Structure 1
Amino acid sequence: MVATGCSNGGDAGGKTESASGGAGKGKKTEFLFWTPFSGADGPFMKEIVDKYNASQDSYKINFVIQPNGEYYKQLDVALSTGKERPDLMIMHLDQIPTYVSKGQLQEMDTLAGAAGINKTDYVEAAVNYATIEDKLYGIPLDIHPLVMYYNKDLLEAAGITSPPTNREEFDAAVEKVTNRDKGVYGYVVPTLWPQQFIFPTLVWQNGGELWNGTDVAYNSPEAVEMIQWLRGMVDKGVSPGNVQQDGENTLFLQGKNAIQFNGPWMKSQFDEAGLNYGVAPVPQIGKAKQAVFGGSHNFAIPKDVKDEGIIAGIGDFLKYVSSNSLEWAESGQALAAKPMIESAEFKALPQSAIADSFSYVQFAPNVLNWPTISEPIWGELNNALLGKKDAQKAMDDAAAKSKQAIGK
């Protein structure tokens, strides 16, 4: 999906056009902005860009949406060849350390200072993660932690007046809601995605880690216990077994799954379906602490962007977004800019409760090539949740594969 505009070729540096409207006194500096928002969220970002383009006569953003599944492959080609390279791009927070290590990102402190962007105006956890050797390489757009969606009608019919906040309440609620004769389940356990958000959340809540500072650690007793808890819901009949990809969401949309853990991006889908649903922070299931896994979309700039006019334009746009991004919140995301989080408009949105978890949100380990290192988790976790392997054996096998990937 390609939205407004197209690439201006080469490094996009310094391309201009006549100013629009009645000003006619200069040229607009254009720059190319890439995003991976090829789903339902794309139009929300397009609206922000369109409004920015119409708000001033100095800059024009050429906005391009690349297919999400191919985004980093295409970005790697563009950054290495310089052809059709973006001037500004969205980057997932956990990708930033790897791209910094490859020398492909430029620091953003200078741009932020010139544009009047203060790091203190953003959620600290994301800023800290994107700060490497005291230099900032990403400005966060949002924080998207795992959240709990619940079917208000199913909970109310079971006599449950508020969403669960801890393991005891959760276990009791899902058993009470379950009615296998009617095909209704309290919590349908996904065996694949979004376990990438669920499993780390549970491990951290139970006092475990994915990475202990020098090695993978997701075969710990704390991690295994949480897998056994998930599988236990299948054994008790609270969840069906052998749930296929997105099966838990299909049942939620059909009103046959009372609770699911997923990301803020699901909001528009549930709204369109007309579900009577609620949003709340994930309960504390583990025994140690409240924690939640989150991701974050960040603005980043390729190292080779040198044109001062383009850099000034990017700074102007990012300053604009810091106080004009409610459209992105309406896509279901929770914004990372504190002025937006604290605004009455954001607080009026159903997903504003998501921001309550920002004080304990955690991101993927800040380890180079973490997506590759951690990849074995998901196949082995699937084996454990399907009952094909003992939980400890599955995680031991995952850890062994990860160690092999990092040469240990």
Structure 2
Amino acid sequence: MKNTVATLAVVTLGAAVALTGCSGPAGSSSTASSGPVNLTFWHGYTEADGKVLDKIVQDFNASQSGVKITTTTKTWAVIGDTLLPALSAKQGPDIVALPAENLPVYAAKGAFAKLDDFYSSATTKSASLNPNAVDMEKVNGSYYGVPTGFVPLSVIYNKALFAKAGISTFPTTWDEWVADAKKLTVDQNNDGTPEQYGLALPDHATVGNGVWASLFYGNGGALVDGTKSVVDSDANVQTLTYWAKAVTQDKISPTGLDGVASDKLFSSGKAAMEVGGPWMASVATENKIDYGIAGIPAGPKGQGASAIGISAAVTTQAGAAKKAAAEKFFDYLFSKDVATQWSLGSGWPPLRTDIPSSAVSSNPVVASLTDIAGTAKPLLPGVATSSDILKSVDEATQKALAGGDPAGLLKTASTAVQQSLAG
């Protein structure tokens, strides 16, 4: 799980290879009537989750005789580097899983087939798929993928440090969160540099760049509204000002943290809390930290969290017969028993809203994430220039937590974001 999502902050798209003629000639996707439709499936689930997915594919193959899927495991970066060249050479996969923020980029290049028919089918409509997860599959009004992972960012916390500070319950609001973080910040020699921080809050290059989007959501803010940048909204200025003060004046977190440094600070026991992804549970276990997982506390306008997502798409080289076969597999993957199996084995909360946390209670991390999954929102769904937009926001948050003016920095970022949206 750790390697699966830790690379999501890097958008690696490979060479900009034209996909004209990517689809094979008429009839090229069909197979002999005496045999199954053979599909190739690339994915980047490289740890235990990959073994679970491969087992699900094997079970699907054994459950029927019309479709046979062969999986190939690559890292997400390798998929990004090789997908377009492989498709241009007509040697790419029929199905590919990839970080959800990359989906609109490839869809815009003509790499993926539309899946509107899949979502309009009675089987899919009855599957109770998380609507926010489904939203991240839409580009320019059409669907180009299906979710295979959708998990909200959350807060992992060190229970022993909480107990030592006399804190018995996890905070539920920003003000409570900052107040507890101050209690958990320890500067033993009063030199201005705490030996222990209440919170590891990365100000740039964080997981999926979703930490700051999550905080903006909590105050009613956003990054874009359709094709318009709202990065410099009053709500976002208030949010960045609030958290910059908590870091620079109250010193609840070091400045200059990226996502990797934030992970290290928590795993070393030098930070009591961290906003991050579910892989931190295994990191905490490796470092013998007694941890809890909680939703990001609510801001003035409510609770919200950006989600990390993985999508699976059917490539345009597949053709009609293979596309239909792939959709048959997606139906299998989203069936209730298989969706539960995938959730328990992969560490992602269930993609179906009718699978309660009690059904996955044998995996406490998954159960905790299931309870807070309703707060999750996809980050910049359908926006092909999301990486450029997030870099602009990154620059503003990093400089603000180093003492810069939040309003001016967000205004500059908003101008850059608007240019990115304009293409």
TM-score of the two chains, using structure 1 as the length reference = 0.82
For 1:119 and 1:72, the matched residues in 2 are separated by: 33
Letter in 2 for 1:300: A
Q: 1:331 to 1:395 in 2, by over 3 A?
A: same
Letter in 2 for 1:32: T
For 1:281 and 1:143, the matched residues in 2 are separated by: 15
CA contact (8 A) 1:189 1:230 kept: no
Show CA shifts across 1:311-335 (max 9, x none): 3442332223223142444433112
SS in 1 for 2:226: coil
Q: Specify which of 249, 252, 276 is matched with residue 263 of structure 2.
A: 249
SS in 1 for 2:155: strand
For residue 16 of structure 2, what is the aligned residue in structure 1? none
Task: Give the CA deviation at 1:13.
Answer: 4.1
1:397 matched to 2:412: yes
1:288 matched to 2:295: no
Task: Give the CA deviation at 1:34.
Answer: 1.3
1:176 matched to 2:183: yes
For residue 375 of structure 1, what is the aligned residue in structure 2? 391
Q: Specify which of 223, 237, 245 is matched with residue 236 of structure 2.
A: 223
Q: 1:171 to 1:210 in 2, by over 3 A?
A: same
For residue 290 of structure 2, what is the aligned residue in structure 1? 276
For 2:284 and 2:53, the matched residues in 1 are separated by: 19
For 1:244 and 1:312, the matched residues in 2 are separated by: 43
CA contact (8 A) 1:115 1:316 kept: no
Task: Give the CA deviation at 1:359.
Answer: 3.2
Q: 1:15 to 1:135 in 2, by over 3 A?
A: same
For 2:57 and 2:81, the matched residues in 1 are separated by: 24
1:33 matched to 2:41: yes
For 1:106 and 1:270, the matched residues in 2 are separated by: 40
For 2:401 and 2:136, the matched residues in 1 are separated by: 31
Q: RMSD across aligned C-alpha pairs, in angstroms?
A: 3.2
In the TM superposition, 1:25-64 aligns within 5 A as 27-38=35-46, 41-64=49-72
CA contact (8 A) 1:265 1:331 kept: no
CA contact (8 A) 1:29 1:58 kept: yes
Q: Specify which of 126, 141, 154 is matched with residue 147 of structure 1.
A: 154
For residue 137 of structure 2, what is the aligned residue in structure 1? 130
Letter in 1 for 2:349: A
Q: 1:142 to 1:67 in 2, by over 3 A?
A: closer
For residue 202 of structure 1, what is the aligned residue in structure 2? 215
For residue 191 of structure 1, what is the aligned residue in structure 2? 203
Farther off after superposition, 192-201 or 112-121: 112-121
CA contact (8 A) 1:264 1:334 kept: no
In the TM superposition, 1:101-112 aligns within 5 A as 101-111=108-118
For 1:239 and 1:133, the matched residues in 2 are separated by: 40
CA contact (8 A) 2:202 2:257 kept: yes
In the TM superposition, 1:257-406 aligns within 5 A as 257-284=271-298, 286-306=299-319, 308=321, 310-322=322-334, 323=336, 324-325=338-339, 326-339=341-354, 341-342=355-356, 344-350=358-364, 351-365=366-380, 366-387=382-403, 389-406=404-421
What stretches of structure 1 of length at least 5 have no aligned partner?
A: 2-9, 17-25
Letter in 1 for 2:300: K
What is the aligned length? 387
CA contact (8 A) 1:32 1:86 kept: yes
For 1:141 and 1:357, the matched residues in 2 are separated by: 18
SS in 2 for 1:256: coil
Q: 1:327 to 1:130 in 2, by over 3 A?
A: closer
Q: Specify which of 82, 88, 93 is matched with residue 74 of structure 1.
A: 82
Task: Give the CA deviation at 1:61.
Answer: 2.2
Q: Percent identity?
A: 25
Letter in 2 for 1:278: G
SS in 1 for 2:274: strand
For 1:56 and 1:367, the matched residues in 2 are separated by: 37
For residue 170 of structure 2, what is the aligned residue in structure 1? 163
Farther off after superposition, 228-237 or 106-115: 106-115
For 1:70 and 1:256, the matched residues in 2 are separated by: 34
For 1:219 and 1:141, the matched residues in 2 are separated by: 33
For 2:237 and 2:75, the matched residues in 1 are separated by: 35
What stretches of structure 2 of length at least 5 have no aligned partner?
A: 4-22, 189-193
Task: Give the CA deviation at 1:135.
Answer: 4.5
For 2:210 and 2:203, the matched residues in 1 are separated by: 12
CA contact (8 A) 2:171 2:297 kept: yes
For 1:185 and 1:39, the matched residues in 2 are separated by: 31
For 1:33 and 1:118, the matched residues in 2 are separated by: 24
Q: 1:168 to 1:234 in 2, by over 3 A?
A: closer
Letter in 2 for 1:77: P
For 1:306 and 1:194, the matched residues in 2 are separated by: 38
Task: Give the CA deviation at 1:244.
Answer: 5.0
Which protein, 1 or 2, shows the higher relative CO under an 8 Å CA cutoff with sep ≥ 6? 2
